[in-house]
Chains A and B, each alone.
Chain A
Amino acid sequence: MRQRRDGDGISASQCRRRSGPLLALLISPLLFGCYWYQNYAVPEPQLPPDPPEHGSEGDGGPPPAGGNSTEGGSMVLSELAYLPPQAVDKQFPGGLRAVARSFFSQGRSGAAYLQLTIPSPGSRVYGLPMLLAETLASAKRAGNTESLRTALGRLGGELRVQADHISTRFSISVPSERWHDALRRLVATFDRVEIKRDVIEEVQRFLLADLSNTLTNKPKDAIVGRFLDHRELGSEARYAQLQDIDPSQVEAAFADGYASQGSVLSMVVPNTQAQTLLRQAEIIMRPWAGSEIEAAPEQSTAGLQVGIYWAPTKIDRSTLILMLESPDTEGIEAAARLTAMQALTGRGIGGRFGEILGQMFPHEVGFATEMAQRGERQYLVLSAEVASGQVLSIINGFNSAIASMLDEAPHAEAISRAANQVRMRLLLQQESPEDWLDWSTRMTQKGLNLEPAYRQTLAALERPTSIPLGAAFTSLATAEQTWIVLGGRPPLGNESIGLLDDNAFTRGPASVSEASKPLQAALADTVMTKALDAMGGGNRILGITGYAAKSKTIGSSSIEFEDSDWYDVSGRLRRSREILNTSIDTRIDGPKADEKSGDEIKGLDASEADRILAKVRRHPLLLLQAYLLGKDQYRLVAMRTAGDRQVAILELIDRTKPRFRMHIDQGSGLVRAVETSTEIPELGVLQILESYRDYRNVTGLRVPFQCSTKTSGASGDSETIWQSFELGDQADEVFERSEGER
């Protein structure tokens, strides 16, 4: 996954997700179905005639203006003559190959991108190539205080290091005018670096942390990585090998050195001729590559293991992964194969495979796609979450899809659409400097000429009628498939399935920042125990049956009102309010709720009644009673300190209600505040903070006699002072209206 920093403080690609060399469509796997064509089957594709020739080849100029042309239901791209800036390659001494591209960047300083890919020092110890490479990036030069990474940062650049047992890659981006300095600095690193033990150990710790996180939290990435790298090693074994690397092994690997033989240098630098770039780069690389002209060997990385491999667990869900080698832009044949793969897989949404899946498992299976690379090979990776019992059927379905493509080719529109998609993807690959570096390195490693092959592929995609799809479909049928199943149980007795031991990784990192919910609940209980004692003891609190109270409240706009309340824990309330020379008598008794003012009685809205009762029930004593009765449970979310006071913040565990928090003073044990929200139709959601103080003893219980209420939004603040507060039973007559009142 590519990560690059954006301009000002926030990293845009801490957010931006771009997957690999070919920017694949990445969709979260959903438990829904795939669309299926009803009318794809035609015996012969009927494609529209080729569009007229226009534009010139190879100048990379602006696209000609054009409109949408649709004939026979196909869409034709009107920018067919566009070709990206040309690349130039050269054989350097020492078996090093180099390829460069430039572009014109008008009026603004741009970035230069350099990538050096080197065969990893010969070692099958898992993690050693990466540990060596990262150590080199972090170690200081002999007689200097700067590491490579620091030095590049000083130039305004960035370094990314990738390594596996096949190749090690240093990718640098730097302001364009500093590219010489950056490349010199990289070359110097291979020669004069002090590798200190503590540096190696520090790098090792961070690599272990990253590996641990991947193995625990990204099992799909981990197992794909396993197949790309060291298939025979399970999670624990990989972790153990990395952990057991002794710094002396790193020193020994460094002493072996990185060989220029078989290495590839790729460069994208603005505003400089590509040939000039290569001439200058050759001079800079000489101290490392030497001056002897040697033939560069073509890289030939072995393909993946073919077959079905299953890493079982007891859970009945599996992550099903398919890895298919994807061709590069190697001419007309590549155009055909890429188009065929697109028509087969639809890159996750559709294609012939999607149609078959939709018939087999309607609305149940959706595939995500991404690209992966191993040496000079790249792979399309499809993955989906499925029920374990569906795995073999889906694999058979994939092969059925391939067979059906041979029997009934996709119709013209589908082919055209597939070719369009592939072409756009290739253009996108050329547009991004980093993707271009990956692509050019791969092509160079394979010994392919970049430009003619690429242009042939593009040209072929512009004329879908000419693409020899028959052979491409046939090659799909014989393409090597690597299926990996992560989780679930394989069917018994199926000898074609290879078993993997990959689900025993137990050394995963725990959460950095949050304790488990059960622990938070246990901590809350400790806090509540203290609060219960401080507020009068559990027995007394449990014994509360009701109260009668008188209070005065002053609102933010100086409006005052006086309340006389009678409350019964069964949920009955009577409130007599004096406000602006008016008396309002409210009574709530279960579903019955009304207000009387003068001679008029009107029914209270259920939501209004709930809001009034909710406020009453937020009284600290009633909250503690609800906790004791087991109606409410809390978890400790924070312990806050302001000055010399420490307050525990407890949050109610109840997803059906708005968030509710209680603040309990750790010194006194008293409830200092409650915090929640309420929604009022005319005003929206209001946050409420009620702070309690002036606690007094009332029949052995601590009762607050002052409450400050802050409400966000229009309502503002208010202050309530109680004149009296008496606990005890309330007579039924208090809550009932007499016949005369009705």
Chain B
Amino acid sequence: MAGILSMPGKAQGPAGIRDLTMPDGSRFLLVPSGESPLIHWVTATPAGSAEDPPEYPGLSYAVARASLNGTSEIGSKDWPAEELAIITGEDLRLELEQVQAAGEVPDGALLAGIEKSRLLANQLSDPYAWRRELQTAPALQLEFSEANTVSFLEITTTAVGFSKVASLMKKRRDNAELRGLREILAQVQKEEAARQRHPLAGLRREILELALPGRKTAIGTQGRNLYRVGKEMFQLSQVPQRCLHVIAGGFDPDQVQRELEAVFVSAPETSPVLRAPEGWGTRKEKELISEIPGGDRQAIAMAFEVPRDANPQALSILVDWLTGGPDSFLARELRRDEHLGLRTQGQAPFPATAVPGLLLVEVWEERLPGLGAAPRELLGSIRKVLDDAAETGPSQIEFNQAVARARGRRGRALASPLDLAYHLALSCSVLRQEPEEAMRDTLSVTHEEVRQLARQILRENTRSIVNAKRQR
């Protein structure tokens, strides 16, 4: 399906933000700040466990990273030969996996063929070429970072380099060739095991199974090699309606708009059909509990269904009050119940691409083996605390403090053009806010609203619980 064609739209948002839709459907937010001459380009695309096919956890992140390694035009000495070597190598690897799955010993010719393909592909490729082109734009930053359900690409340039950067970004979107995907996927999966940010990957996968059963994965993997699966995944991530680009810094918005309109004219011919995730409807059970074989420490995740019409600001205040740091309601009450050495965190919506998504609460012990007494049963304590939270919600003082923290976070998010770009990229993609709402100074939420939301979510709506019990 070709990209949706539309005339470029121009909406004047708050504080001079322009909300533009390009002819190919790409959405840009232009935020001229008139300060430093640097221009920051931040792109947000969906990624993470909600996007990954279950057979390849981490693939969405790996694909995004590999997409920086050049295109069919940039970074190859002979693209047809290189492509053939990549595909041949991946087909042989698929054959190797099938042989190994059948319990057989692979023959030397198969292994030699894989290595030969790999070496040939390496010799024909230059994975840094696209990034070097970017540097010559000139562009400074190429930072790639990952949240739980979204990946960000950040480039810094100036007015001089903007047009070239735009052109290179379009080329990447249309023709990225994912060099080194296999090695990068191995690295991503290794990092996931080591990540401090979310040591709870196993719980999250199971929570998604319970709370969003039958969630449809758009990418089929059967009989297809990693390269082909990765290419389709990248194309899906780059469908114009799924990306949000934020341009912030010192620039003339009319000039930048002209340059973007000249570049983002048509979507790639191979744009996949955009299919919304589907499941097989809501489940009947109010509460589902799952125990997974855990590691050396106990961890518990609880996910609550969020009502479709929930005020995002109220939801944010609720999450912060309930789980935000060592002084949160959950952390405090668990400590009072003599559960020490625990960490808590919360997130809503989870995953970012679900509508309306879930409120996810996670608790895990940091108590190291051998330090102090073994913990008492945790799940019962967490249930009790959350029942109390549903009953009372935050007090007026706690609500005021949460609002103060939210305002503080908002202020920090606007501290520099780059921070502003990330803030808008996150708010307007993942959180689906309009730019006006994302930029608003004041919070339009009442104490009673948050209390009611707490009652509804924590008591009335369906919940899923995953308990990773400590293995002795």
Contacts and interface: CB of A to CB of B under 8 A. Distances in A.
Given A6-B422, A15-B147, A512 B297 contact: yes
The residue in B65, B137, B426 that gathers the most chain A C-beta atoms within 10 A of its C-beta is B426
B135 A30 contact: no
Indicate the member of A109, A156, A209, A679 with the most B CB atoms within 10 Å: A156
A431 B143 contact: no
B202 A5 contact: no
Interface residues of B, number: 147
Interface in B209-223: 209-210, 213-222
Given A32-B127, A689-B214, A15 B141 contact: no
B242 interface: no
Given A149-B327, A513-B202, A655-B101, A5 B468 contact: no
Contacts of A689: 213-214, 280
A25 B219 contact: no
Contact of A513 (B196, B199, B215): B199
Given A6-B413, A349-B132, A514-B293, A63 B431 contact: no
17 contacts: A6-B426, A7-B406, A9-B312, A10-B147, A62-B34, A110-B414, A111-B411, A155-B408, A216-B194, A424-B158, A427-B36, A428-B38, A509-B297, A513-B201, A639-B291, A642-B285, A685-B220
Interface stretch (A72-80, A395-403, A618-626): A72-80
B145 A15 contact: yes
Contact of A218 (B138, B152, B194, B414): B194
Contacts of A366: 127-128
A568 interface: no
Interface in A270-320: none
Given A657-B222, A659-B54, A712 B214 contact: yes
Contacts of B206: 637-638
Interface in B395-421: 401, 404-419
Contacts of A520: 293
A79 B250 contact: yes
B448 interface: no
A684 interface: yes
Interface of A: 4-18, 23, 25-28, 30-35, 60, 62-63, 65-69, 75-79, 82, 84, 103, 107-111, 113, 138, 149-150, 153-158, 173-176, 202, 205-206, 208-210, 212-213, 216-218, 349-350, 362-363, 366, 417, 420-421, 424-425, 427-428, 430-433, 507, 509-515, 519-520, 523, 630, 636-643, 649, 654-659, 677-679, 684-687, 689, 710-713, 717
Contacts of B222: 657-658, 678-679
Nearest to A23: B141
Given A34-B128, A111-B411, A153-B405, A205 B368 contact: yes
Contacts of B183: 30-31
A417 B136 contact: yes
Contacts of A205: 340-341, 366-368, 371-372
Contacts of A35: 126, 128-129, 132
Nearest to B422: A12
A431 B364 contact: no
Interface string B177-199: 00110011001000001111101
Given A7-B427, A655-B97, A679-B222, A213 B196 contact: yes
Contacts of A153: 325, 327, 401, 404-405
Contacts of B158: 77-79, 424
A348 to B, nearest CB: 9
Contact of A75 (B129, B136, B148): B136
Given A32-B128, A679-B220, A428 B156 contact: yes
B141 A515 contact: no
Contact of B412 (A23, A32, A68, A173): A173
Given A8-B312, A209-B366, A642-B288, A515 B36 contact: no
B416 A433 contact: yes
A509 B150 contact: no
Nearest to B217: A685
A641 B220 contact: no
Contacts of B325: 153
A68 B167 CA distance: 15
B299 A512 contact: yes
A519 B293 CA distance: 8
Contacts of A82: 36-37, 250
Interface string B460-472: 0000001010010
